[in-house]
Each structure stands twice: as structure tokens, then as C-alpha cells.
Structure 1
Amino acid sequence: MRYKLGWASRFGVALLMGILTFSLVVTTAPTQIQGAIAQATAAARQQQREQQVRQVRPETYDLSRYPVTDANERHWRNVLWTTGVVEPQEPYVAEAIAQIVSLTARSGLSRPQQRTVEMAMQIATQLYFSNPTGYAAIGQQFLQTVERSPNPEWSAMALSALVKTGLDPQQRQRLGDRLRQRFPQWNQDIYLFTTLRDLALLQQTPTTPPLGDLLKWTIAPNQVHLYVICRPDRGVLCQTVVKDGNGQFLRENGQLWSIPLLLRSLHELSWNFTRGQTPQGIYRIEGVRPANMETFRAYGAYDLVKLFAPYEEGVREFVPGRPGQLPATLTAYQALLPPSWRNYFPIQQSYWAGKAGRGLFRIHGSGEDPGFFTNNNRYPKSLGWNPAIGCLSALELYDDTGRLQQADMPPILNALTRLGGRSFTGYLTVVEVPGADTPVSIAEIEAAINS
């Protein structure tokens, strides 16, 4: 709690701005705002949580009653989401999820069946990470997926999950070699290529290029540049700074303007998989998605900042003056980076994620109580911030009566509007830098800018 109060004190100005600009930034009618307040009361949140917990019972996970068929896709989608929220430590949950994961070895699954299995793989990664011993049955199925699945994405996801829970170097090497053997064209599959490349980086960690080179670089002239600087441990809050179209960093009272964001995946998935953590690299910023009280719990009461990964559909101009997407080559992406960063593989993550079809990245708040997600308890260094499934999560806190106490989306939106106008465009760069398991300090960023 002292940690959270420290952040609140540091960003008191942001708190005041959030309260004063609530009606300015939120594009909803007063009755809808009242609806948001009603959803944020302690009673409403307790009811929401209890609804999730009540679904965790043996009959819900009974595969003889609910086999993985097209007709049962909706049932399993609801049950699997609940499982991710609650993280139940029940043997029947482990058995059911492991049985669904075992279907990765089958060919000929229908599209609804594939969607169920894929979501089960995502939730299984989260559960196995939370308790490898209690969910040992899932770990065994992950091993079988690596050995037998004809699906390269699921095979890569299984290996990634196993690596996250502490395989020794010899085991990692053996399983990596097994995938190369089973998929001779592995380097032409994005999931296998990126997973095995990350595996190699564990053996020989590359030196991170100078942060100052990245911060002082201009991707395109007259564009807002937002930087989100993280530690490798995504349970630690990231630090956000911004510079205007002339390359000047925004400051308040002489200090760098800064807002903390959380870039942790609820499912503990790696960056290269759908619903995984936010990839490092470059994104195009193009305005906002208006707030919608129907999605208040997921995204909060404020407009969402729209981000586009390379090659994601819907972008107006990934490069200003060139309508549409970035040219589909790694060289075109590398040209957006300073020379010292172009061959650094981790900063290429958004490129490969975009090529794999990831998208719909946003910066947003959350109307959910931080206690809604069980796994928040494992991350005391970011209490108050909710995880996402790929997006960048801003703080948004309400009291027991449903009234706003603090929100960091308004200062983010106001900063972007101040520097880029109401229809702001620009770039966001996510980057991890080595260091202690504490947020990157303003002093560290200042030193990089002045280097």
C-alpha cells in the first residue's frame, strides 16, 4: 500500500486533472456516466466477482456433459474466461483444461473447436505459470503438444509456457531441437521462428543499445512521439514520457511529464501470441476510440488511444504522407529505428506481432476493481493497475460509492491533444531496459536524453 500511495502522491497533479476533466474527455451522456458509477460501487463489484466464483464447480468443467463441440463453444468461452479471472486451484479444473489441451494433437478440428482449444491454451499458460505443481497435468500436456501437435502455433505456445516456468538449459535445447525436427520449415512460421529466436536469446542475452539513441531519434517529422519504458518483468510498472513534433519532451515545472502504465498480460503469454503481453517496438497512434459505457468494466470511463501495429488493417497512414500500411519488409520497419537499434531483435517484436496478425492495441483504463483478477495478488508492485490482454493499462480507481478517485487516462489524452491537436497522430515505442525490479526512474530517462 505504501507503494501505491507513493505513486498517487507523485501524480497528484494527474489526479486533479483527471477529476477536473472528466466531463471533457468522456464522450458519454450524463445518464451513461451514472451507469458507470453504478457499475463501480462496492456492491456491484462484489456481485460481479461472486458471479464468476459461482461458475467454478465440477459440473461446469464436465467434458462428458460439455464436450468440445461447435455447439459448446460459447459455454467453454465463458468458463475459460472465468477460469482466467478466478484462477481456481481445484483438481477438476486442472483435469478439464489438460483434456482440452490434449486436443492440440488432433487434426481436423472445426473452427469453433480450434477457437476453444486456442483459448484453453492461453488460460492453461496462465494456470501453469501460477502453480506448476498444482497444474502439473497441464505441464504434461504442454510436453505432449511440443512432441505431437501438427499445429505450429500451439507447439510454439506450449514450449513458451514450459520455458516460463523454469526449464533448465538442456531441456530448453532438447525441446527446441524437437520442434526444428518436426517442422523443418520452422523459420518460415512466425510463431516458431520468434519463439525459437527468444529461446536463443536466453542462452546469450544481447546488449541493449543506448536508450538515448532511441529517445532522441525522430521516426517522422512533426509527429508526437510517446515512449513507454519497461523492465523485463512486466509485473513492474512502465514509465511513459512524450515529446512534441519538434522533438522536445513535455515537462511540468521543469520535470519530465510522466505517467505509469502496466503492460502485463493477464494470461502470462509471450508477446508473439494473441492475448500476450504488449510487444516491444513501434506502433502508429491515430486518435481515439470513444468511451462506451457498455464496455466500462473492460476499458474504463475514458476514450481509448488507438494504436496500430505494423501491417494491421485500418491504419490511415503508418508513415505520414503514405496512405495505408508500412511496406511489408523488415527493412522498411528497421528504417524507422535509429541505426544502433535496427538489428536488436527485441525491438522488432511489434513488426513480427503485426505480421502474425496481432492488433487492436489500445491505451485504456479499467472499470474493474483491482481485486477482480485473482492474479493481481502476485504483483504487489503494481497494485491498483489491472492487467490487460495485450493493451497498455492505465490506473483508474473508484471508491465504494462508485465515485472516481484517480484516473491517468485524462492526463494522457490531454498531453496528446495538447501536442498533436484533437485528431492527434504520432508514434508509440515500447522498450524494455535492464535494471532492478523497480520502475524506470525519471533520473534514468533524463540521463539517457542528455547522453
Structure 2
Amino acid sequence: MKLRLLLALTTLALAACAPLRPSQPPAEKRYTAAELLALKPADFVWPATSTDGERALREAALADIRARLALPPGAARDAALPRLFELVAQYNAEIAAARPLLLDALPTLGQRDAETQRALLTAAHTLYAADAVPLLWPLLPQLTASKPFAIAAYTLLQADAGAADRLRDLVPQQFPQWADDARLAALMSRLRPSAAALPPLAELLAAPLRPGFAVIVSLQRVGRQQMGLALVRGADGRFVRDAAGRLFASPQLALARSGLPGTVTNGNTPQGLFTLVGAGTATNPNIGPTPYLHTKLPIEASVAEFEHVAMADTAAWSEAVYDSFLPESWRGLSPLREAWLAGLAGRDELIVHGTTLNPAYYAGASYHPGTPQQGCMISGEDWDPATGRLLASRQLTLAQVYAAASRRDDLAGYLVVVDVPGEGAVTPAEAEALVAEAGR
């Protein structure tokens, strides 16, 4: 009974990065700004973050992995593969042992459904890109759905130096209407990069978006393999500073475990503009009890939700509506267009949240102590190993700084995610220089 319960918890812990709905979810708590500001870290406890709780979940996950690895070839093993590779990636365990199963499955994907294709191709991209290359080229013509095709293409781009030229010719041949598909449009933008220099980032940081609303600005690195920083610009248009005048800049990771682009399911947080519509407590065990900030992409949110005004929910979305929030110099540019394309592609439930995952799973990674999940923006948290009580939370601090700066009880506002050039984690000194250039 105990093992079955732990396996069930592990299954829930692999659900998407969002306030998901298990079979019997607890009621989700929504917060006003005043309620959010009254919270303290000690208000939250999550037993699975204690040493004993975490060990039990990990042991259950490892037992599940090994049971799936031991299945003989056949329908049962085929059905077990998607979750097997989710577990392998989350726990960084049995990667070598699982490799042959993935490589054996890849040549058969042309006869599998699109969701199975997506799951196994994501595993190839995440864990075995170099090994998968010779198997993916003959598979590509069999991938008739744009999502699995795009994942395979991004895997080839990651591991095959000559892939871009071949893919640039192949996409229009295989998908003549590629420009009407958000995933393929994003892929072709990657294959045909613009030579034009981006406008000054200061113009984006100073842009009002919509006057009177607070904004979280998430500064990230290209590729997302390093920690970024979240800044908060208040409803008055000024970036938040402490009493000593230091800019508020909180570490934040916008990397998904898959490392796929933002237009693909379970890919990185897309660059661009989100609307922020409140705060709540998630039911995903990997997120835990600390309140998340509820952000939505275009299309996922109606135009009315994006505008934060009362208007007909039937108002039509268009790229021009999306661009209207941005300063003129940044409109129509590929980097910030990613959020628009991600919304068109159906991505949703990408929120700003904390984490209950043990950073030790990713020790040695360039983004450590970050804990990537499935596309959300994640702030680190410290949990008491004896009790599972929250000791410190960058997520709660970010949410409270935003709540105070928003001056709105409903917390309505915006999020901008933008990649900045450079190496290593984004530093407070870089953020300070950018904000100073913006005059904010």
C-alpha cells in the first residue's frame, strides 16, 4: 500500500508545470495582494521536501524506472516508455540503461501516434541527441504532424552541424503551408535568422506596456542554461529598490528539462509578453504550496484579460494586438514574437512558481541550483530537511515585491521574458546597468 501511494505521488510529480488537477485535487487557494503580503515562509510545509519524504519519493521513482526497464519487448514496454523517460530526466537516473530502449523505439515512431512521437522525441532531445541523429534523418519524412517534426528538427540542430541547410530545404517541401503553423514558423525563423541588430533593451525596459500596471521583467540567457534574474517595475514605472537603493533582482530559471524552444510542448519559457492575472496555490507536487503568480500567454488569455479591462471576450486576437503592447522598435521582431507563436501553438499554464525538487538532482549542471521543470519560471526555495517546513523562498519574496509594487488587489499586470547576451548567470550589476540606461 505504501509503495502504491508513493508511486501515485511520483506520477503526479511528473505532471506539467502548472496548477494541474489530480483526480481528487484540494481546492485551489487564490490570493489577493493583501493576503499575499501577509504570508511568511513558516506558513508553508511540504513533507516530501524533508530528507525522509524526498528519499521515499526517489526510491519509489527508481523502483518504477527499473521495473519499466525490465519489461520485455512488446506492447507493455512500448506503453511504458513515455513515463520512463520523464522519470529518467527528472531524477537524472539510469540514463545509460534507458538509452537502448529509446534508440530501438525511434525507427518505429512513424507508425506511432503523435503524442507518443512527441514524448519519445523529447526524450531524444533531452538525453540522447548525438546518438539519435542517424535515426532521425530517415524518420523525418514519416513525421506528418508539425509538433513531432519540429522536436526532431531541433534535436538535429543541436547535434548535427550540417542540419540547418538540409532542414531549410526540407520544411517547405514537407509542409508547403508551414507559414500557417506556429511551430514551423518558429522553426523556420531559427533556420533563417535575421541579420538585423536588436533595438536597445533599454527601450523595452522603459516601455509602459499599459500605463499603471506593474511588470515583472525576467532577464535570461540565450539557451537558458544559466540562472536569470527577475526584476519588478512598479505601477509608477520605476523598478523596485530596497531602502539602501539596491535594485531588486531575484534569481529565476526559465529552462525546461527538455531544453526545447518555447513554441514546443514542455519547452523553455518563451520570450515575449505574458499577462499576469493573479496568484494561487498549485496542486502540482513539484511546485508545492508557495503561491504562484498566474501568467498567461496570448490566445490562452483573451484580449480582455491581456488588456485588464472590461470588454467582450470575443475581441479577436492578432499579431497587431500583441505588438501594440510593445515599444515600436521591438514590434514584429523574432525574439519577442516567440510568446505570440507559443500561444498560437497551444502552450498554456506557464506560471511563475517555486519548487519542491531537490537541487542535488542537477548538481554539476550550469544552472545549478536551479531545478528545471516543464516550461515555467522557477525561483528557488529552501526547505527544512527535518520537517519539510519552508525556511526561505525567492518565489514568495518575488510575489510579495510584485504585490506591493502593483498597487492592485487583483494583482493584474504583465510579465516580459527577454534573453540578454553574455556568459554565465545574469548578474545584478548587468541588471543595474540596463535599468540605469532605461532611466527607470
Residue 241 (structure 2) aligns with = 251
- Structure 1 runs (4+) greater than 6 angstroms displaced: none
Residue 410 (structure 2) aligns with = 423
Secondary structure of 2:416's partner?
A: strand
Q: Is the contact made by 1:83 and 1:123 (CA closer than 8 Å) also made in structure 2?
A: no
Give per-residue Cα distances to partners, 1:9-35, cap 9 Å, x unaligned.
xxxxxxxxxxxx99943799x8xx55x
Counterpart AA for 2:351: R
What stretches of structure 2 of length at least 5 have no aligned partner? Answer: 1-34
Counting only pairs closer than 5 Å after superposition, residues 24-423 of structure 1 correspond to structure 2 as: 24-25=38-39, 33-34=44-45, 36=46, 38-57=47-66, 59-60=69-70, 62-64=72-74, 66=76, 68=78, 72=79, 75-88=80-93, 93-106=98-111, 113-129=113-129, 132=130, 136=131, 138-165=132-159, 167-168=160-161, 170-201=162-193, 205-253=195-243, 254-292=245-283, 295=284, 297-313=285-301, 317-321=305-309, 322-324=311-313, 327-371=316-360, 373=361, 376-380=362-366, 382-401=367-386, 402-420=388-406, 421-423=408-410
Which segment is superposed worse, 113-122 or 223-232? 113-122
Shift of 1:305: 0.6
Q: Is the contact made by 2:37 and 2:403 (CA closer than 8 Å) also made in structure 1?
A: no
Distance in 2 between residues matched to 1:345 and 1:84, nearest whole Å: 30
CA spacing shift, 1:291–1:274, aligned 2, 3 Å: closer
CA spacing shift, 1:206–1:271, aligned 2, 3 Å: farther
Q: Is the contact made by 1:234 and 1:262 (CA closer than 8 Å) also made in structure 2?
A: yes
Q: Is the contact made by 1:241 and 1:257 (CA closer than 8 Å) also made in structure 2?
A: yes
Counterpart AA for 1:305: L
Q: Is the contact made by 1:271 and 1:349 (CA closer than 8 Å) also made in structure 2?
A: yes
Shift of 1:91: 5.7
Distance in 2 between residues matched to 1:249 and 1:360, nearest whole Å: 26
Secondary structure of 1:269's partner?
A: coil
Q: Is the contact made by 1:310 and 1:326 (CA closer than 8 Å) also made in structure 2?
A: no
CA spacing shift, 1:334–1:82, aligned 2, 3 Å: same
Aligned counterpart in structure 1 of residue 426 of structure 2, from 410, 428, 439: 439
Secondary structure of 2:134's partner?
A: helix
CA spacing shift, 1:176–1:148, aligned 2, 3 Å: farther
Secondary structure of 1:448's partner?
A: helix
Q: Is the contact made by 2:226 and 2:425 (CA closer than 8 Å) also made in structure 1?
A: yes
Distance in 1 between residues matched to 2:125 and 2:229, nearest whole Å: 27
Q: Is the contact made by 2:205 and 2:435 (CA closer than 8 Å) also made in structure 1?
A: no
Q: Is the contact made by 1:384 and 1:397 (CA closer than 8 Å) also made in structure 2?
A: no
Distance in 2 between residues matched to 1:89 and 1:343, nearest whole Å: 44
TM-score for the superposition, normalised by structure 2: 0.83
Q: Is the contact made by 2:214 and 2:233 (CA closer than 8 Å) also made in structure 1?
A: yes
Q: Is the contact made by 1:214 and 1:341 (CA closer than 8 Å) also made in structure 2?
A: yes
Distance in 1 between residues matched to 2:302 and 2:41, nearest whole Å: 22
Secondary structure of 2:163's partner?
A: helix
Secondary structure of 2:306's partner?
A: coil
TM-score for the superposition, normalised by structure 1: 0.81
Q: Is the contact made by 1:233 and 1:437 (CA closer than 8 Å) also made in structure 2?
A: no
Secondary structure of 1:25's partner?
A: coil
Distance in 2 between residues matched to 1:78 and 1:410, nearest whole Å: 31
The count of aligned residue pairs is 399
Shift of 1:195: 0.6
Residue 8 (structure 1) aligns with = none
Q: Is the contact made by 2:383 and 2:390 (CA closer than 8 Å) also made in structure 1?
A: yes
CA spacing shift, 1:49–1:328, aligned 2, 3 Å: same
Q: Is the contact made by 2:216 and 2:416 (CA closer than 8 Å) also made in structure 1?
A: yes
Give per-residue Cα distances to partners, 1:107-139, cap 9 Å, x unaligned.
xx5xxx43333222222210124xx2xxx1x33
CA spacing shift, 1:291–1:332, aligned 2, 3 Å: closer
Shift of 1:427: 0.6
Distance in 2 between residues matched to 1:314 and 1:213, nearest whole Å: 26
Secondary structure of 1:442's partner?
A: helix
Give per-residue Cα distances to partners, 1:274-320, cap 9 Å, x unaligned.
1000000000000012255xx3x311231111011000057862113
Distance in 1 between residues matched to 2:377 and 2:315, nearest whole Å: 22
CA spacing shift, 1:323–1:255, aligned 2, 3 Å: farther
Distance in 2 between residues matched to 1:395 and 1:59, nearest whole Å: 32
Percentage identity across paired residues of the two chains: 21
Secondary structure of 2:215's partner?
A: strand
Counterpart AA for 2:206: K
Shift of 1:416: 2.1
Shift of 1:327: 3.3
Secondary structure of 1:299's partner?
A: coil
Counterpart AA for 2:319: L
Distance in 2 between residues matched to 1:352 and 1:280, nearest whole Å: 10
Distance in 1 between residues matched to 2:282 and 2:389, nearest whole Å: 17
Give per-residue Cα distances to partners, 1:127-186, cap 9 Å, x unaligned.
124xx2xxx1x3333222323322222112101111122x32x43201321222122222
Counterpart AA for 2:373: A
